[in-house]
Structure 1
Amino acid sequence: MNGFDLTILTFLTQHAFSAGLMTKTIKAIAGFYTFKGLVFIPILCWIWFKPHQHGEWDREVVIATLASGLLALVLGRLLAHYLPFRVRPIYNPDLHLHFPATEGEHELRFWSSFPSDHAMMWMSVATGIFLVSCRVGILAILYTAIFICAPRVYLGLHYPTDVIAGALIGVVVTYVMTSDFVRRPLAAPILRWIDKRPGLGYAMAFVLCFELVTQLDEVRILAQSVSKVVGHS
């Protein structure tokens, strides 16, 4: 445990947000999809449908941003699986800190804390928004830091360095995915396909946005259930 993480965790658990109502509010913010991805999807829709000042560039960035978010989520979970295991603060007895109990926290006991897939995914999306609109993007980045990353640190689900590293990786993923040599070959055929089949295209976009908001949680649960059934058969 480094001093940076310990100092912030000690401050949050012993000096900040001690009121019960504040703790319940933070739990709700951390647990509800409404306070996470559902905030960003309307912004991406606004970018998609607003009058184009840069031709198809805005829409290309939206496609690359959606791809970046999903890629960051998958990459985050792969890194957590293959990197050395890091126990989450809430399960680390060496910290001697008391964290608020969180619903469903038992499911995370065997998930490595590093890096934060929440920080990777939503900072990736916020970065894509920033590339189109600096003002809206700055708000999106601040929202990610305050309402997505910070609550998970306060609840003991991540160390500060988990979310910082995750956020930086998310930014890099979007930077690469929105670069000309990746964005254009990825987005151009998708845009042409949507122009030809807008009904099917927007229907699939809705499903993709839904999975982005829920962070593929139901897909993961379904895959785990199928794996258990196959394993016992």
Structure 2
Amino acid sequence: MNSLTTTLMGLDKEILLTLNAFGGGNNNLWDLANNSLFRGFPLFFSIPALWFSSDQPERRGRMLAGLLAVCLATMLSVWSQFHIAVHTRPILDLAIPLDTVIPRTPWDRTNSFPSDTATLFFGLAAVIFVEKRLVGFFCFVWVAALVAIPRVVVGLHYPSDIIGSFVLGPAIVFIFTALPYPRGLFERALTWFQGRLYIVHALLFIFLAESFDLFPSLQALGKVFARLLHA
């Protein structure tokens, strides 16, 4: 381990402890940051509003490409936590003196890089940013303040986990919305479903309902399939 890596790890831990001392034991702060409606309202209001504000297939195709990118980025972040050992989740490292409202009990993912929650929300903010810059910028700030930073405060993540999420989620969204193939594919699909858009709207509703609380049903199904594969 070189001196630069050691310095960055030390800075990571120092910022973590500073933020944790600010409000790691504050139940009200965590209850607000962990409230699905409060933390997600600007995003889950803006996405349907943008979708229904215009029936242009270009916008809707671009948004669908962005939402697909959000799914892939979130899956990649979860996969990384299981398979790439960057560092142990702070709350599981009993050598770190944390003041936290979260029980320091075992998790199924001991690695915390990058934050899957922050990846999802930063990705959704990027989808909005592509369509409406000012609204998207507000959503980025909201996610940072109400979703990302509180997860460092209570010790669920290091600051570097959040930085990784901030890069991963939006980067994949910007790539998918800029490339002609996924966007064009969705545009053609919308043309095919022109007389049956209620099917697209129903699927969009299911996606938003699941992503609103971090895909709980998909996570549960994934665990079931994993148990079946190892049975």
- TM-score band (shorter)? 0.7 to 0.9
Deviation, 1:80, is 1.6
DSSP 3-state at the match of 2:23: coil
Amino acid at match of 1:123: F
Amino acid at match of 2:94: P
Question: Where does residue 74 of structure 1 map in the other structure?
Answer: 75
Deviation sequence 1:181-222 (CA, Å, 0-9, x none): 234333212322442212222112111111222222222123
Work out which of the residue numbers 42, 49, 52 in structure 2 matches 1:46. Answer: 49
Deviation sequence 1:89-108 (CA, Å, 0-9, x none): 1111332x2231326x6463
Within the alignment, does 1:145 sit opposite 2:144 as a pair? yes
Within the alignment, does 1:6 sit opposite 2:17 as a pair? no
Amino acid at match of 1:17: G
Question: Where does residue 100 of structure 1 map in the other structure?
Answer: 100
Deviation sequence 1:70-96 (CA, Å, 0-9, x none): 11111111122221252111111332x
The runs of 5 or more residues in structure 2 that have no matched partner are: 1-5
Q: Say what the alpha-carbon RMSD is for the aligned residues.
A: 2.3
Once the two structures are overlaid, the 10-residue window that deviates more, 155-164 or 5-14, is 5-14
DSSP 3-state at the match of 1:178: helix
Instruction: Indicate conservation of the 8 Å contact 2:17/2:98, yes or no.
Output: no
Amino acid at match of 1:172: A
| TM-score using structure 2 length | 0.86
CA distance in 1, matches of 2:181, 2:166: 21
Deviation sequence 1:121-157 (CA, Å, 0-9, x none): 2111111211111110110000111111001101100
Q: Judging changes above 3 Å, is the alpha-carbon distance between structure 1 residues 31 and 94 closer, same or farther for their aligned structure 2 residues?
A: same
Within the alignment, does 1:131 sit opposite 2:130 as a pair? yes
Alignment identity in percent? Answer: 24
| TM-score using structure 1 length | 0.85
CA distance in 2, matches of 1:144, 1:212: 14
The runs of 5 or more residues in structure 1 that have no matched partner are: none
Question: Where does residue 156 of structure 2 map in the other structure?
Answer: 157
Question: Where does residue 184 of structure 1 map in the other structure?
Answer: 183
Once the two structures are overlaid, the 10-residue window that deviates more, 192-201 or 205-214, is 192-201
Amino acid at match of 2:17: T
Once the two structures are overlaid, the 10-residue window that deviates more, 211-220 or 223-232, is 223-232
Task: Count residues in correspondence.
Answer: 224
Instruction: Indicate conservation of the 8 Å contact 2:69/2:176, yes or no.
Output: yes
Question: Where does residue 37 of structure 2 map in the other structure?
Answer: 34
Instruction: Indicate conservation of the 8 Å contact 1:68/1:125, yes or no.
Output: no
Question: Where does residue 24 of structure 1 map in the other structure?
Answer: 27
DSSP 3-state at the match of 1:93: coil
CA distance in 1, matches of 2:229, 2:60: 41
